[in-house]
Amino acid sequence: MTCIAQDRAIRTRNAIVRAAAEVFDETGYHAAGITRILDRAGVTQGALYFHFGSKEGLARAVLAEHQGEWCAPEQPQGLQQLVDLMLSLAEAAQRSVLLRAALRLTVERVVAAPGEASVPALLADCFLRELREARRRGQLSPEVDEVCVSWILVEAYTGAQSLSRVVPERGDLVARVAALWCLLLSGIATPEARARVVVDGARRLGCGCWVQGAGQAWTECGDVTDNGDVTDNIEVVLFDGTPPGGAAMSRIAQDRAVRTREALITSAAEIFDECGYAGAGITRILERAGVTTGAMYFHFKSKSELATAVMNAQRQTIEPRLVSQGLQRLVDITLVWAVQLRTDPLLRAGVRLSVEQGSFGLQDATAFLNWRDAMVKCLAVARSEGELLPEADPVAIAEFVVGACTGVQLYSQLVSGREDLLRRTVAMWRMLLPGIATPQARQRILLDADRGNAA
């Protein structure tokens, strides 16, 4: 091959990888069509298959080449460098489509080539090196488990990136990572280390954690509405009993409509959980529900509308039977969620669709906001009961917990099929509580895994 031909081949390959990364980032792997990638790259189908052989081979190339977009320091230096590392990663992800696409491909379980480490494994290894150096320097609290914390940080970062995609008005990814560290430092670092660590782009003023993203003015984590109130907008989706379109119905017809809608949502959840959105056929959902096509389109105009109903119903599946309030109630909700996510197809499908919704053209933050608002209510009670530290911001805490739980379940699914989800959730709380709860409240909070089984 001549030098000119070699240069042309390199340019073609790079154009395909770049175009594929953009499409994977926008839509996810399964919804990314080869034709769309070819149009974006301006190349022929033959050129793509010459370089990569298949769509899977192209995805692996994106996974392999993202590492040039962000480099970890050669020498670990402890806690300050770990904070800087995560902030620089967030900055890199905001500007690098390769990095964002690689993380999304990993979340969607598109495997790397044999012998190649996954994106979360690479991140966890970088974080672990810094945590071990922090331990050597006496910067970590005695009870901190470095391996556990390294994975919780990966999970929390992944959740923050997922939230920044669907709730952009709450700040950019750098701002979310800065706010994350405002909450976590008290749970892992000694008082002396906390006093020395600087979270560049975040500062404490009054009761709020103040963060600044690239090109943004300073804004306080905690504003929900213009008047500062948190609105209860949890929508009853599953069993509302209201006939669509407002048509007058007899009570018998209304009951039948409610049962039909319930059967459709339940069956769709099972199929979405098994196959994902792209693999879930309408015919299969109708057969599982035992209803007609006309019945489905009476309740839902499209498959995407049905998927939205499943996403937004997940919050209603969690209601701990244990009597608790305030901070304990919030902990109990997450523990029950961790248990039921392994057994409840409606909850599993809702979580999966919420994360993958970009692949079917949605950008709906309702499910995330429903969880956030429910958690803010618990934290408001905790505030009135004197359980929270003065500087703790209920909205910032709730958004962190939603993002962290999103990341925790994603990687628990990857490494253990969610077998260890309850243990990971407990570990998350052990790290978070020192940064948000008073010493007296921490002594009262029960993190017994059996509370999750009392659903």
Q: What is the CATH T-level fold of the domain 70-220, as seen in this structure? A: Tetracycline Repressor; domain 2 (1.10.357)
Rounded Cα–Cα distance for residues 257 and 243 (Å): 7
Residue partners of 440: CB distance under 8 A and separation at least 6: none
pLDDT at 432 over 70: yes
pLDDT class of 70 with cuts at 50, 70, 90: low
Average pLDDT, the chain: 77
Alpha-carbon torsion (365, 416, 28, 353), positive or negative:
negative
Q: What is the DSSP letter of 301?
A: S
Q: What percent of the chain has pLDDT over 90?
A: 15
Q: 388 pairs with which residues across the strands?
A: 437
Hey, do 70-220 and 222-455 end up sharing a CATH topology, with the first three levels equal? yes
Structural domain boundaries in the chain: 3-67, 70-220, 222-455
Per the listing, tokens 């769509």 go with 55
Q: Pick 3-67's CATH classification: 3.10.290.10, 1.10.274.10, 3.40.605.10, 1.10.10.60.
A: 1.10.10.60
Q: Which helix (H) or strand (E) holds 176?
A: helix 173-188
CATH of domain 222-455: 1.10.357.10
pLDDT class of 91 with cuts at 50, 70, 90: confident
- The per-residue pLDDT for 249 is 37
pLDDT at 341 over 80: yes
Q: Give mean pLDDT, residues 128-136.
A: 92
Rounded Cα–Cα distance for residues 83 and 180 (Å): 10
pLDDT at 242 over 70: no
- The per-residue pLDDT for 103 is 77
Residue partners of 255: CB distance under 8 A and separation at least 6: 241
Q: Which helix (H) or strand (E) holds 21?
A: helix 3-27
Top mean-pLDDT range of 26-30, 153-157, 316-320, 427-431? 427-431
- Whether the CB-CB separation of 151 and 131 falls below 8 Å is answered with no
Q: Choose among 428, 325, 433: nearest CA to 378.
A: 325
Per the listing, tokens 């069956």 go with 267
3-state secondary structure at position 454 = coil
- The per-residue pLDDT for 177 is 86
pLDDT at 371 over 70: yes
Per the listing, tokens 């992944």 go with 158
pLDDT class of 273 with cuts at 50, 70, 90: confident
For helices 394-416 and 146-166, give the axis angle rounded to 10 degrees.
110
- The per-residue pLDDT for 317 is 58
Amino acid letter for position 373: D
Q: What is the DSSP letter of 140?
A: B
Rounded Cα–Cα distance for residues 245 and 341 (Å): 33
pLDDT class of 283 with cuts at 50, 70, 90: confident
Q: Which residue has the higher pLDDT, 435 or 252?
A: 435
Q: Where are the alpha helices (DSSP H) in 219-344?
A: 251-279, 282-289, 293-299, 303-313, 326-340
pLDDT class of 215 with cuts at 50, 70, 90: very low
Q: Which helix (H) or strand (E) holds 130?
A: helix 119-136
Q: Given strand 219-220, what is the order of strands in its sheet? A: 202-205, 208-211, 219-220
Q: Count CA within 13 A, CB hemisphere, residue 411.
A: 26
